[in-house]
Structure 1
């Protein structure tokens, strides 16, 4: 069993057994038929993944690594808010007639801010500090910008990343760690997708900053399983599990903006069958 499988199964069992139901309460999300989408939820779930030991893709079912990296690059590298620059359709429900999701996600990472060192956006600021001041305790991004929320088609779910550098004894290289803060997460649809995305981001940042990947800590304020997902989750966590896959990344890329989806793959990735027709609450 991979560590990621163990974490996922434990989290799901905890939500199913100890979670609080929102049934009957006033909730925003709706199913396609217009009925309210209720959840079982846990507050303040914290999961830790040691990226130096394995890549945290679950094996219970396949995580589409190319698609999740494509979305990561769309947000962090292209800094785009237009789904026409994305190769999947996961954002279609939130885009306007021009393909825009408003001043959300990639838009916020692309806004330039004034610093003593000059004008930079949030991504370049992090890369600058990791390369020039790695022990800074101020290396972070935040895309939950209140003044722009009214112009976002969806408020950011994964909204903040804090990077922190450590060094192991007898190690020649610094270790890059990160905390991903998420206000809300649909566990079935998005949990391992987000974990894999930000594990890849840590690997990318570490490589271009001449570091090694360390821990990814995932903090979820509202970790929930939707009512119509409960039987799917119950079946999923009873499946056989396999060894963690091997993560391959093109070691020749030293510029963050040169990565493409072709520079990544998961090798020896053995998984359970695909979960078909997952209902999505909007």
Structure 2
């Protein structure tokens, strides 16, 4: 059975059984009808996925893997902050009349800094370091730039990625691992979406630098379930758990900047029925 399903069910059960609520408190998010969107949350949830064992896609319901990949390419490859460059409409609510989400996400990855070796934006520096000093402990991207927060239409939720290389005695080549730091997550709407996104990012970067994609460690500070999502979650976690799909990348592509969503190869992805019409708090 899918390890991602097991972790998801354990996480949701922990939040529902032992989480704390902010009902009655002053909260920012609102439902479409203007009602405050309260949550029950778990603090400091950590999940670990090993891509050498399986790809971490839920089978309880389908995750749109190619759409997830398109968003991660939008941020880290196209380095865009405009929804015109994104196929899905998940960012529409936060875009202005020009399509911009402000100085957020891809805008931050595109910012260039000066180093002794030359000028690099955040993603190019990651690739440079992994190619030249792969065992460095300083290989990361960070989108939470305090000076720009007032010009972001949404503060970044998944904001920091740290890369770390290991090579054990049984490893034929270096293994690339990743830590994803997330300040806040809507568990129903976004948990497996983010997990799959960053698993795909890890796979693409590992391919670019000739390493094996290893572990994804996902740290969520505020892992919450919205009040109107509780019945949906309770039904979802009782569903049968199936085998994980086989997910790989086109073997003919090895440059990070050449990947397209068509290069994501998905086989044997069987799931329960899709959950539709999820209310989203904004």
Residue pairs, 1:4-15, within 5 angstroms: 4-15=4-15
Measure the CA separation in 1 of the matches of 2:268 and 2:159. Answer: 32
Residue pairs, 1:218-233, within 5 angstroms: 218-233=218-233
Measure the CA separation in 2 of the matches of 1:92 and 1:188. Answer: 19
Q: Does residue 1:122 correspond to 2:87, yes or no?
A: no
Say whether the 8 Å CA contact 1:15–1:40 is kept in structure 2.
yes
Counterpart position of 1:197: 197
Say whether the 8 Å CA contact 1:65–1:265 is kept in structure 2.
no
Measure the CA separation in 2 of the matches of 1:265 and 1:273. Answer: 21
What 5-or-longer segments of structure 2 have no aligned partner?
none
Say whether the 8 Å CA contact 2:68–2:196 is kept in structure 1.
yes
Say whether the 8 Å CA contact 2:183–2:222 is kept in structure 1.
yes
TM-score for both structures, normalised by structure 1: 0.99
Say whether the 8 Å CA contact 1:109–1:122 is kept in structure 2.
yes
DSSP 3-state at the match of 2:24? coil
What 5-or-longer segments of structure 1 have no aligned partner?
none
Measure the CA separation in 2 of the matches of 1:66 and 1:227. Answer: 29
Measure the CA separation in 2 of the matches of 1:157 and 1:280. Answer: 15
Counterpart position of 2:277: 277
Counterpart position of 1:208: 208
Residue pairs, 1:40-189, within 5 angstroms: 40-189=40-189
Counterpart position of 2:263: 263
Q: Deviations over 1:40-61 (max 9, x none)?
A: 0011000000111000001000
Say whether the 8 Å CA contact 2:46–2:218 is kept in structure 1.
yes
Counterpart position of 1:26: 26
Q: Deviations over 1:239-259 (max 9, x none)?
A: 011000001211111211000
Say whether the 8 Å CA contact 1:66–1:265 is kept in structure 2.
no
Measure the CA separation in 2 of the matches of 1:140 and 1:276. Answer: 35
Task: State the 1:266 CA deviation.
Answer: 1.8
Measure the CA separation in 1 of the matches of 2:48 and 2:66. Answer: 23
* Bigger mean CA deviation after superposition, 163-172 or 258-267: 163-172
Measure the CA separation in 1 of the matches of 2:144 and 2:248. Answer: 32
Q: Deviations over 1:213-239 (max 9, x none)?
A: 110000000000000000000000000
Task: State the 1:170 CA deviation.
Answer: 3.1
TM-score for both structures, normalised by structure 2: 0.99
How many residue pairs are counted as aligned between the two chains?
Answer: 282
* Bigger mean CA deviation after superposition, 168-177 or 181-190: 168-177
